[in-house]
Amino acid sequence: MQANVIDGQTTKLAPSPLLLSKSPGDLPSPQPSPPARNSPAGSTFGSSDDGSSSSSSADYPTPVTDLDGDAQVYYLNPADARKQAYLPSPTASTFSSNRDSGSSGAVEVVPKPKIVVSDSPTPPTAQEAPQAEAPLPPTPRVHGWLADAVAPFADFIDGPVDPRAAYVDLQEIAEGESGSVFAAHLVESFVGKLRLPASVAARDAHDRAAGQRTLVAIKQVAVTPHGSQKLLDLQHELRLMRGLAHENILGMEAVYVDVVEDMLWIRMDLMERSLADVIELVNEGLMLQERMIARFAGDILLGLDYLHKQGIAHRDVRSDNLLINNSGVVRITDFSQSVKVTREAPLSSEVVGVVYWQAPEMRVGPYDPLKADIWSLGATVWETAQAEPPFAETQVFTERWPAVRQPELFSPAFHEFLRLCSEPAAVRPNAAALMKSAFTTNACGRAVIVQLLSQCMAIERRIQEEMGEDS
């Protein structure tokens, strides 16, 4: 097995898609799905009730597939997953900063682990931050230096719960510098006894009533006596996102302390794959049509519009930080670079993110981080249409993106959307305005994205079979 390096550590994942080996009883057999949850208001973008687009177009036919297969599971802090093929040039690398030091430096770009295949992800639900209750009293489970180290997380930790007892059958799906990520089952006896947002607790109860085991993602972050940048980032994310919930935002549902291995366990919803993983399969024959791209863009805009109305700028919008669930809904994740924007402090000066998705104003001085998110969204749309980030070929970073290849394949609405996203910050539209654009309102139905995910799995199975034949 060839190892990948992620932020200085070696992942256990092979460079090709990896199928989790499962013994009987490790993961649940397919169960009837619970009733579908409603999408957020405005997320249908003109789609009809049956999931098809209300605006038919011969130019952009929707895919049809009858493929079935195990659900894909992708979950990793996308900040730990970079693309080696997109290393900036020595000149371009000076455009980004080292988050740990705050000084100008090169962007570290390392390979992203491949997809891991597992069974039946949990049904989607709007994300909520862990309930902001009064700080928990000291618990006899945590002693000594560990108690001191996790004290800053007291508002968020479900102190009395031993995560090793509550979550079982852990199977590692990714490993990086920030910690390992596992798929895990919630033990039935803990349903209703955990400190969870109301919607998450209701989902767990629904699974129990339906005779299903709840499958979640568990991210483990090491705790050290002297702290770490990863713990500071986690604390920043938890405080920034406290109390926020939206269908297109991936939140942290709960935090626990593992006293055996001195770890924080963060529970999250288990997602299918990242948008970056979808884009990578274009070179293997996957077809991404314009109206699919519009659906992705619409979901991202819904999430950004919600964040921006809360005064939060993400500042690192790109395909690695956009995860898709089994219902085809895109959620924004990784808020380690995010900032709170106020009337008193409307501008930022830090150069963060990855250069291919950075707004040009980031590199010249104070900038409006809310408008920078819009540029990054446009860069992601460009990337999805071209199967590579803008400027990856030329390494010459300009005020506007390069012209797309074969522009005649794309509608005028698509070109206008890209133009709007790359306008100077002072006149660049906000997320609410872009949601009304002709491009996003002609998005495909949600069911088309679900079919697209099935096609992704079929392509990966074919690749695995071909690799098996070669060996």
Residue 17 has pLDDT above 90, yes or no: no
pLDDT band at 211 (very low <50, low <70, confident <90, very high): very high
Higher pLDDT residue, 89 or 145?
145
- Residue 227 confidence (pLDDT): 87
Share of the chain above pLDDT 70, in %: 70
Residue 61 has pLDDT above 90, yes or no: no
pLDDT band at 140 (very low <50, low <70, confident <90, very high): low
- Residue 180 confidence (pLDDT): 86
Higher pLDDT residue, 80 or 351?
351
- Residue 178 confidence (pLDDT): 72
- Residue 225 confidence (pLDDT): 93
What is the residue-averaged pLDDT of the chain? Answer: 78
Share of the chain above pLDDT 90, in %: 64
The predicted model scores a pTM of 0.72
- Residue 384 confidence (pLDDT): 98
Question: What domains lie within the chain, and their CATH numbers?
Answer: 144-269 (3.30.200.20), 273-462 (1.10.510.10)
Tell me which residues are annotated as active site. Answer: 316
The model's pLDDT over 84-130, given as tens digits with 9 standing for 90+, comes to: 344 333 333 333 333 333 333 333 333 443 333 333 444 444 444 45
Residue 315 has pLDDT above 70, yes or no: yes
pLDDT band at 218 (very low <50, low <70, confident <90, very high): very high
For residues 48-59, give the mean pLDDT: 39
Region of poorest pLDDT, from 12-16, 204-208, 299-303, 401-405: 12-16
For residues 447-460, give the mean pLDDT: 97
pLDDT band at 316 (very low <50, low <70, confident <90, very high): very high
* Residues 312 and 338: beta-carbon distance below 8 Å: yes
Residue 438 has pLDDT above 80, yes or no: yes
- Residue 471 confidence (pLDDT): 65
Residue 449 has pLDDT above 70, yes or no: yes
Region of poorest pLDDT, from 87-96, 242-251, 338-347, 379-388: 87-96
Region of poorest pLDDT, from 33-37, 128-132, 216-220, 308-312: 33-37
Residue 216 has pLDDT above 80, yes or no: yes
The model's pLDDT over 229-256, given as tens digits with 9 standing for 90+, comes to: 999 999 999 999 998 999 999 999 999 9
pLDDT band at 13 (very low <50, low <70, confident <90, very high): very low
- Residue 333 confidence (pLDDT): 92
pLDDT band at 365 (very low <50, low <70, confident <90, very high): confident
Higher pLDDT residue, 256 or 52?
256
Residue 70 has pLDDT above 50, yes or no: no
